[in-house]
Amino acid sequence: MVCEVCGCPAVRWLRVGTVARQFKCSPKKVRRLIKRGEIEGVRFGREWRIDHDSLDQYVREDSVRFAVLEQ
């Protein structure tokens, strides 16, 4: 099952690689978004996990920004 908002698997915590593949960007870019506070992430050992709700919110806000720019 996939999320209707971002298209990622419908799980609570997403891996950086999963998000990077879904949005066709580098894992480094995803980690930068976490560092800047644009999406919420937590560190589990050596890996970062992204909060799915936070990612959905980021996608919704970004979609609104692009819609305004296109007008």
pLDDT of residue 20: 93
* Phi and psi angles of residue 14, each rounded to the nearest 5 degrees, phi first: -110, 145
- Tokens describing residue 48: 């970062």
Confidence of residue 66 (pLDDT cuts 50, 70, 90): low
**Residue 64 confidence (pLDDT) above 80:** no
The answer to whether 3 and 59 are in contact (CB under 8 A) is no
One DSSP character per residue, 13-37 reads EEEHHHHHHHTTS-HHHHHHHHHTT
DSSP type of residue 9: B
The mean pLDDT of 54-63, rounded to a whole number, is: 87
What average pLDDT score do residues 37-58 get?
A: 93
Q: How do residues 6-47 score in pLDDT, each as one tens digit?
A: 888 888 899 999 999 998 999 999 999 999 999 999 998 999
